C-alpha cells in the first residue's frame, strides 16, 4: 500500500479516539524492558477500547533506554498488538544516526507509523530540525511518520511554519503529535497541517478543546493506566454528546490531580495496583507506593 493510502487508513482508525502513550514494563532497578509483560498491558488497553498504541514515548521512558532495549520493546509491542490496533513506534533520539537506525529497525516490523521527537537540550533552528526529520523519513520512506512536538521538555518545538514546510517536502509525513500546553499554538498547528494528515493532541487537561478545534484524536500518558474516561470522552464527542464529553473532561482533570508530582511513577503505580506488573520507572525517576488507584477509582465511580 502506498504511503498516502496508509496515512488515509490510519487517519480513519485513529479519528475520535485515544491512543495511550504506553508505559514500558521494566525489570525493577534496571533499564531493561520486561517484554513478558508487554502483551498483558497491550491486552488491557485494547480491551478498554483504545484506538491505537504509542510505544516508547515520554511516558514510555523511551529516551532513557539503550537502543537495543528500545528495539526489544518495539518488537514486543508490535507482536502483541498483532493487527488488533495500529502501533506507533517512537524512534526519536538525541543523535540523528541513532534515530535513523531505530527507524530502519522499525521498518522491518511494519508498524502503522513511526514517531520522532526533536533532539533535546540544545536549541535548533528550523533548518536543522528539517534535516533531522528528513533523515528519519529517508530511512523509512514507506512508513508514515509523525513529528512529536513537546517543547516544554525537549526545548525544541515544531512551529506552524516548519510543519507547513515539512508537509510539502515529505510524502511520508502522517502528521503531528503535539503535547503543547498552549491551546492557541495547537490551534495554529491544526490550521497549518493539511487536512489529509493527522493531528493528535497530547494536552490532557485541554483534550476536549483540542478535539473541538479540529484535532483528529488524542495521545495520552494517563490513559495507559486509566483509559476509561478518555475512551468515554472521545466517544461522546464523536456522537455529539457535548455535555457528557465535558463531564468526562472534568473527570480527567480530577484524575490528573491524583498523580501529584509523580507523573510516570504515579502512572506505573496505578497500573501495578490494577494488576498489570509494569514495575517501577527507570532508577533515576521517583516511584510511588501510594494507593493511587483506589483514589482514582472513586473519582471514576462518581463520574460514571
Please tell me whether residue 148 adopts helix, strand or coil conformation: strand
177 is known as an active-site residue: yes
- Nearest CA-CA partner of 93 in 117, 115, 74, 72: 117
In the numeric block, which cell numbers belong to residue 246?
A: 465535558
Burial class (CB within 10 angstroms; exposed 0-12, middle 13-18, buried 19+) of 214: middle
Q: Using alpha carbons, select from 278, 239, 303 the residue that is nearest to residue 73.
A: 278
Which is catalytic among the residues 11, 51, 132, 177? 177
Per the document, the length of the chain is: 304
191 close to 183: Cβ distance less than 8 angstroms: no
Instruction: Name beta bridge partners: 178.
Output: 149, 201
Give the dihedral sign, CA 81/15/93/259: negative
Q: Is 59 among the annotated ligand-binding positions?
A: yes
Query: In sequence order, what are the beta bridge partners of 113?
Result: 88
Residue 148 is a catalytic residue? yes
Grid cell in block for residue 56? 516508547
- Binding-site residue set for pyruvate: 59, 219
- Binding-site residue set: 59, 219
Residues marked as catalytic: 148, 177
Amino acid at each position: 500500500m502506498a504511503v498516502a493510502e496508509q496515512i488515509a487508513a490510519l487517519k480513519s482508525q485513529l479519528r475520535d479516539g485515544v491512543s495511550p502513550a504506553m508505559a514500558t514494563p521494566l525489570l525493577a532497578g534496571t533499564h531493561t524492558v520486561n517484554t513478558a509483560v508487554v502483551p498483558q498491558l497491550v491486552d488491557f488497553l485494547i480491551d478498554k477500547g483504545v484506538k491505537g498504541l504509542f510505544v516508547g514515548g515520554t511516558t514510555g521512558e523511551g529516551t532513557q533506554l539503550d537502543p537495543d532495549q528500545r528495539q526489544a520493546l518495539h518488537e514486543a509491542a508490535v507482536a502483541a498488538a498483532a493487527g488488533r490496533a495500529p502501533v506507533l513506534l517512537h524512534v526519536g533520539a538525541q543523535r540523528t544516526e541513532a534515530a535513523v537506525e531505530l527507524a530502519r529497525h522499525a521498518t522491518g516490523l511494519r508498524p502503522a507509523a513511526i514517531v520522532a521527537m526533536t533532539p533535546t537540550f540544545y536549541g535548533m533552528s528550523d533548518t536543522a530540525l528539517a534535516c533531522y526529520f528528513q533523515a528519519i523519513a529517508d530511512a523509512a520512506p514507506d512508513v508514515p511518520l509523525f513529528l512529536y512536538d513537546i517543547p516544554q521538555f525537549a526545548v525544541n518545538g515544531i512551529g506552524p511554519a516548519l510543519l507547513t514546510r515539512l508537509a510539502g517536502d515529505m510524502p511520508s509525513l502522517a502528521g503531528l503529535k503535539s503535547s503543547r500546553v498552549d491551546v492557541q499554538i495547537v490551534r495554529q498547528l491544526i490550521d497549518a497541517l493539511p487536512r489529509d494528515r493527522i493531528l493528535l493532541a497530547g494536552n490532557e487537561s485541554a483534550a476536549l478543546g483540542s478535539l473541538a478545534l479540529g484535532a483528529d484524536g488524542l495521545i495520552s500518558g494517563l490513559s495507559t493506566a486509566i483509559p476509561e474516561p478518555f475512551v468515554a470522552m472521545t466517544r461522546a464527542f464523536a456522537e455529539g454528546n457535548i455535555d457528557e464529553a465535558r463531564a468526562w473532561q472534568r473527570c480527567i482533570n480530577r484524575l490528573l490531580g491524583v498523580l501529584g508530582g509523580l507523573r510516570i511513577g504515579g502512572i506505573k503505580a496505578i497500573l501495578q495496583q490494577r494488576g498489570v506488573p509494569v514495575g517501577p520507572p527507570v532508577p533515576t525517576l521517583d516511584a510511588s507506593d501510594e494507593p493511587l488507584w483506589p483514589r482514582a477509582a472513586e473519582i471514576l465511580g462518581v463520574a460514571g
